[in-house]
Amino acid sequence: MTPAPAMVDISALRSAVAPHFGGAAMEFEPIRTGRFNAGYYLSGGPGEFVLRVAPPDDAGFLFYERRMMLQEPEVHQLVREETHVPVAEIVALDSSRRRLDRDFIIMRRLPGRSASELAPTRETLSRLHREVGRALAQIHRITRARHGYLGAHRPMKPQESWRKAFETMWNKLLVDCRRCGGYSREEAQLMSRALRRNLEIFDRPGPASLLHMDVWAQNILCDEDGRLTGLVDFDRALWGDPEIEFAVLDYCGLASPEFFAGYGRPRPDDPEARLRQVFYYLYEVQKYVVIERLRRRNPARADGYKRQAFTLLTRAVSMRG
């Protein structure tokens, strides 16, 4: 099991959050299920809230993870204004580093519990997958003209096409794989050439959709009957092709028939879509080469993801003929 992030000194947190609650005393309860940010439930006179604290600056990040919390207020506002998806109201984002050496965000607590904490029946799981599908369909209808990671953390230059954005993202991830010692120069070049030879299949017309990119059981809130009560953790949000979101759902076991029934249209299944699916899944797998080496200090697991990545690459090559 992946260890949860280390909790931050409570006295420092009390001092940091106090100004955002007019000095009111708040009770802190650690959230034990997080894997990136440290999380706490806050309760007191002002109400019920969630506090999320970013990792320290030397934690070891993918290119798009550094200070990615900065984009959440804008994304939450968009989703709250333009959809019916239950997303928390953000009370404060503090990136000043004056009271704490990390960014932190405070939002109102949504009802329900993380789906990872439940033992759902087949019926409740089916209902939840449908509701997640309906929620993502609404989110994907929020669009912009530019593609890529467009948030205030600015990990890349916005691109005018999804093809160029994905090429940029892919090669930045390969740089991360090289820097952490996960790939040799020759291995990174092989991955880069493989995408370059297939770039035409990423010519996706139309505007970029808002993508959550981290929908898994931990980030889904629901009631005991499998009704969606919240989607959380939009810090990895991306603007682009919805099919790459489906690759994350593949990885997390959510790309079910029930999900697509809720989504309202079937998954594309033509030859180019199937090949894109392999590359999108590859993008998801390769990030763990970096995460396991830099954050989890587990090179053996990183090498396992690397082997999986090159197996997928072989599959992509064979599909191309």
SS (HEC) of 171-187: HHHHHHHHHCCCCCHHH
CATH level 2 (architecture), domain 10-109: 2-Layer Sandwich (3.30)
Split at pLDDT 50, 70, 90, the class of 321 is low
Fill in the amino acid letter for 200: E
Question: In 3D, which of 128, 156, 127, 147 has the Cα closest to residue 62?
Answer: 156
Tens-place pLDDT, residues 11-43 = 999 999 999 999 999 999 999 877 799 999 999
- CA atoms of 312 and 31, how far apart (whole Å): 35
Helix (H) or strand (E) holding 105: strand 104-108
Q: What are the extents of the domains in the chain?
A: 10-109, 114-320
Q: What is the mean pLDDT of residues 196-217?
A: 96
Split at pLDDT 50, 70, 90, the class of 4 is low
Tens-place pLDDT, residues 66-113 = 999 999 999 999 999 999 999 999 999 999 999 899 999 999 999 999
Share of the chain above pLDDT 90, in %: 92
Q: pLDDT at position 8, please? A: 80
Q: What is the C-alpha radius of gyration for the chain, rounded to an integer number of angstroms?
A: 20
Q: What is the mean pLDDT of residues 202-219?
A: 96
Q: pLDDT at position 192, please? A: 98
Q: pLDDT at position 190, please? A: 97
Q: What is the pTM of this model?
A: 0.95
- Residue whose tokens read 């329900």: 112
**Angle, helices 162-179/271-294, rounded to nearest 10 degrees:** 30
> What average pLDDT does the chain have?
95
- CA atoms of 26 and 235, how far apart (whole Å): 25
DSSP of 35-82: SSSEEEEEEETTEEEEEEEPPPTTS---TTTTTGGGGHHHHHHHHHHH
Q: pLDDT at position 1, please? A: 35
Q: Specify the fold of 114-320.
A: Aminoglycoside 3'-phosphotransferase; Chain: A, domain 2 (3.90.1200)
Q: What is the mean pLDDT of residues 155-170?
A: 98
Question: In 3D, which of 238, 277, 256 has the Cα closest to residue 142?
Answer: 238
Strand 104-108 to 90-94 pairing:
antiparallel
Token pair in block for residue 236: 């990895």
- CA atoms of 11 and 318, how far apart (whole Å): 57
Split at pLDDT 50, 70, 90, the class of 7 is low
Q: pLDDT at position 122, please? A: 93
Between the alpha carbon of residue 266 and those of residues 74, 255, 258, 261, 282, the distances in Å are: 30, 11, 11, 7, 22
Q: Which long-range contacts (CB under 8 A, 24 or more apart) does 5-12 make?
A: 5/34, 5/35, 5/36, 5/37, 5/38, 5/55, 6/38, 7/38, 7/40, 8/38, 8/53, 8/100, 8/102, 12/99, 12/100
Question: In 3D, which of 259, 287, 268 has the Cα closest to residue 131?
Answer: 259
Q: Which residues pair with 108 in a beta bridge?
A: 49
